[in-house]
């Protein structure tokens, strides 16, 4: 196992703890089996290694399931050997790269009750639907991309607290005024965030072109490796799914006609619905439904947006401002754990309580003026008034 110890030492040396993601303080690390899901580049490995650095190293081990060690060794064999050596914490990165990951995790949990196992996995992986039942064993968390608030902290621009949604609506004018004292001209970093701020890819990628190239490569890897591996897509299906994502990115916000998509892609309607679900599970798109509509695998979404605004820039040259605004609001509210639906009047209903109309600085309230507890979310303003809230302020919900 010496190669694994050497690899771990290199990982520990290259990971600092200056900035930790929002999820770090929410994870029950002391549980026996904990999984962190998320898209490539979102910071799953860093989060677990940061925790590993707080643990006694003689009994803690980090491995990644795509290490050459596992060409001839299984995860379970490795866990058994580590346990015999006194190991009490095993961190497994990219667990889905192991062919029998769910059965091996189950056997680790059942066979070594005094050893904790932490693992990371692709967003597209449903850890409760593997060949072994993990639903009663594993705690699963999803690590989303950075909020606008985290982006400001990551790049050392400002450190500001998280806002709850009720507090945001009740006190937005005072909150925005207070933030402006610490962060003058918040619209400047906000515009940068929309284009290159969602993934913590490092200071060296702040250049727009380099960041966009990295995001494009990431999306391609999710389609060509993660989804293809997890759902056993053929080469033909991979090509068609890439084409589907291209259609969506050109049209978002998109009201899908699944039969037209099926005809265009020359597959069945149910196949298209399955692919739409897979793209959302992989954190590439977001399916939004109207109130009262079902959420089954074969339920057509009422609107589709890309998962975050950075993808809009990576997949299209000049994204529409309206598209960016809706994508940002849907992303930040959903990532913070609040329920978001399409509104019959206005754009969104949040927590079945707040109706939002999203627009530019000159957007009027005529669509929502008769609706109780309705709010106009305006871009390009620093401080709001009454029921008018600055768009950027929704970036402080997590």
Give the pLDDT score at 155: 94
Statement: residue 297 has pLDDT above 70: no
Which pLDDT value is given to residue 293?
58
Q: How far is CA 168 from CA 102, 149, 164, 333, 364, in A?
A: 41, 14, 6, 12, 21
Find out if CATH 3.30.70.580 is the number for domain 2-142: no
Q: Percent of the chain scored above 70 by pLDDT?
A: 97
Residue 64 has pLDDT above 80, yes or no: yes
Q: What is the pLDDT of residues 180-198, one digit of tens each?
A: 999 999 999 999 999 999 9
- 232-272 pLDDT, tens digit per residue, is 888 899 999 999 998 988 887 888 899 999 999 999 999 99
Does 318 score more than 90 pLDDT?
no
Instruction: Report CA-CA distances (Å) from 11 to 6, 40, 63, 65.
Output: 9, 17, 10, 14
Question: Can you give the residue ranges of every domain in the chain?
Answer: 2-142, 151-396
pLDDT number for residue 129: 64
> What 3-state class would DSSP assign to 107?
helix
Alpha helices in the chain (DSSP H): 2-13, 44-52, 75-84, 101-111, 148-154, 165-182, 187-196, 208-221, 228-231, 235-251, 258-265, 269-281, 309-315, 321-335
pLDDT tens-digit profile of 74-111? 999 999 999 999 999 999 999 999 989 999 999 999 99
Q: Is the confidence at residue 215, as pLDDT, over 70?
A: yes
For residue 283, what are its two tokens?
Answer: 């954190």
Q: Assess contact for 310 and 290: CB atoms under 8 A.
A: no
């Amino acid at each position: 196992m010496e190669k694994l110890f050497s690899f771990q030492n290199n990982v520990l040396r290259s990971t600092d703890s200056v900035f930790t993601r929002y999820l770090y303080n929410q994870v029950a690390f002391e549980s026996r089996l904990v999984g962190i899901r998320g898209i490539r580049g979102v910071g799953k490995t860093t989060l677990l290694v940061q925790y590993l650095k707080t643990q006694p190293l003689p009994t803690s081990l980090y491995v990644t399931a795509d290490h050459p060690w596992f060409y001839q060794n299984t995860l379970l064999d490795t866990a058994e050997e580590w346990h015999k050596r006194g190991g009490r914490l095993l961190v497994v990165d990219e667990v889905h790269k192991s062919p029998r990951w769910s059965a091996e995790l189950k056997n680790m949990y059942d066979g070594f009750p005094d050893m904790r196992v932490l693992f990371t996995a692709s967003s597209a992986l449903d850890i409760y639907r593997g060949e072994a039942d993990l639903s009663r064993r594993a705690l699963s968390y999803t690590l989303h991309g950075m909020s606008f608030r985290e982006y400001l902290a990551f790049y050392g621009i400002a450190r500001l607290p998280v806002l709850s949604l009720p507090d945001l609506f009740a006190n937005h004018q005072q909150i925005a005024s207070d933030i402006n004292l610490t962060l003058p001209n918040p619209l400047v970093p906000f515009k940068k965030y929309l284009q290159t701020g969602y993934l913590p890819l490092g200071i060296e990628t702040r250049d727009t072109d380099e960041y966009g190239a990295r995001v494009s490569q990431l999306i391609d890897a999710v389609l060509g490796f993660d989804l293809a591996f997890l759902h056993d897509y053929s080469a033909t299906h991979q090509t068609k799914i890439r084409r589907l994502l291209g259609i969506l990115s050109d049209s978002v916000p998109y009201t899908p006609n699944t039969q037209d998509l099926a005809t265009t892609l020359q597959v069945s309607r149910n196949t298209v619905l399955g692919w739409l679900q897979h793209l959302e599970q992989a954190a590439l798109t977001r399916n939004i439904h109207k109130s009262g509509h079902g959420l089954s695998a074969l339920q057509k979404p009422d609107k589709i947006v890309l998962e975050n605004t950075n993808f809009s820039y990576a997949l299209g040259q000049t994204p529409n401002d309206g598209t960016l605004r809706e994508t940002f609001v849907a992303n930040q509210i959903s990532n913070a754990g609040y329920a978001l639906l399409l509104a019959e009047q206005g754009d969104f209903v949040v927590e079945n309580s707040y109706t939002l109309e999203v627009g530019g600085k000159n957007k009027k309230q005529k669509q929502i003026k008769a609706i109780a507890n309705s709010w106009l979310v305006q871009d390009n303003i620093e401080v709001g008034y009454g029921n008018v809230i600055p768009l950027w302020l929704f970036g402080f919900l997590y």
